[in-house]
Amino acid sequence: METPTKESSIRKRQQIFKANRMMFLWVAMASAVIGFALIISISLMQRIIYNQKVIGEKNKTYSTLANNNKKVSQLEDQIKTINYSSDVLKKLRAKDSDDPIQVVLDALPSDSNRLALGSSLQNVLLANIPGSSLESMKVESTAEAGSVKKSTATTGTVENNSLDVTFTLKINSGSEDSIREMLTRLEKSIRTFKVTNVKIEYSLDKMNVTVTAKAYYEPAKVVELTEKAVKP
């Protein structure tokens, strides 16, 4: 076996060096290509996921609008049925020019309207009852009677989403018939009332009657369009 000369040894070292350098360059280029491909793949995947989120939210919005439009159509049909087919409501109208649907709105208004409630009790329901007179009337404010309940109006924890205002009547009466007439008027009123307590005190030739009751109302439903940002 011949001993390699100095020149052949140098030549082999140069060949090995060139081979190592080429291998390093190929590995570096392959790594760069793989890294670039990974970055592009991750970016595309994030974009796909984001687009799916946007499409999902759009589908939810479309479904909500479609359901609302369907309910509006159903509500319009129900209102037409009430206005044209309900003879009972027509007889209960406050004015002949009112639509029968107005009777429903009067029975369960959209707000407490304490002033109108007090005026109705004093001038319509309790007026002209023989042998009786209204001594005092107190209608609790919404802040007193319904501040806690109002916060639950959208959750449905109050009876059928309806809220109530409590009022107290103190009446001087000379006969049981007048008391019976007063309670009958409350019972037959278009406005929804619930008598919770009746207290009768006798003194000589008259009776002092204290009536505690609730008047109901249901806040109007508000439909509004809002914007929602979808985060990537």
Q: Looking at the structure, tell me whether residues 128 and 74 fall in a common domain.
A: no
> What confidence score (pLDDT) does residue 117 get?
83
> What confidence score (pLDDT) does residue 155 get?
35
Per-residue pLDDT tens over the stretch 98-116:
777 777 777 778 888 788 8
pTM of the full structure: 0.54
231 occurs within a structural domain: no
Q: Looking at the structure, tell me whether residues 123 and 208 fall in a common domain.
A: yes
Of 95, 122, 156, which residue constitutes the final position of a domain?
95
β-bridge mates for residue 209, sequence order: 171, 200
Q: Looking at the structure, tell me whether residues 201 and 112 fall in a common domain.
A: yes
Q: Looking at the structure, tell me whether residues 173 and 112 fall in a common domain.
A: yes
Report the percentage of the chain scoring pLDDT > 70.
82
Q: For the stretch 115-128, what's the b/e string if a residue is b when 16 or more beta carbons lie within 10 angstroms of its beta carbon? A: eebeebbeeebbee
Q: Looking at the structure, tell me whether residues 128 and 70 fall in a common domain.
A: no
> Residue 131: CB partners within 8 Å, gap ≥ 6?
173, 174, 175, 177, 178
229 occurs within a structural domain: no
| Domain housing 90 | 7-95
Q: Looking at the structure, tell me whether residues 137 and 194 fall in a common domain.
A: yes
Of 95, 125, 148, which residue constitutes the final position of a domain?
95
Q: Looking at the structure, tell me whether residues 79 and 136 fall in a common domain.
A: no
222 occurs within a structural domain: no
Q: Looking at the structure, tell me whether residues 44 and 122 fall in a common domain.
A: no
142 touches 165 (CB < 8 A): yes
Total count of domains within the chain:
2
Could you give the CA distance from residue 158 to residue 155 in angstroms, rounded to a whole number? 8
User: What is the band of 89 on the pLDDT scale with cuts at 50, 70, 90?
Assistant: low
* Average pLDDT of the chain, as a whole number: 77
232 occurs within a structural domain: no
Per-residue pLDDT tens over the stretch 133-173:
888 888 886 544 444 444 333 333 334 567 888 999 998 88
DSSP 51-91: HHHHHHHHHHHHHHHHHHHHHHHHHHHHHHHHHHH-HHHHH
Q: For position 116, which CATH number holds?
A: 3.30.70.60
Q: Looking at the structure, tell me whether residues 48 and 141 fall in a common domain.
A: no
Is the model's pLDDT at 19 over the cut of 60?
A: yes
Of 73, 95, 117, which residue constitutes the final position of a domain?
95
Report the percentage of the chain scoring pLDDT > 90.
2
Q: Looking at the structure, tell me whether residues 125 and 209 fall in a common domain.
A: yes
191 touches 215 (CB < 8 A): yes
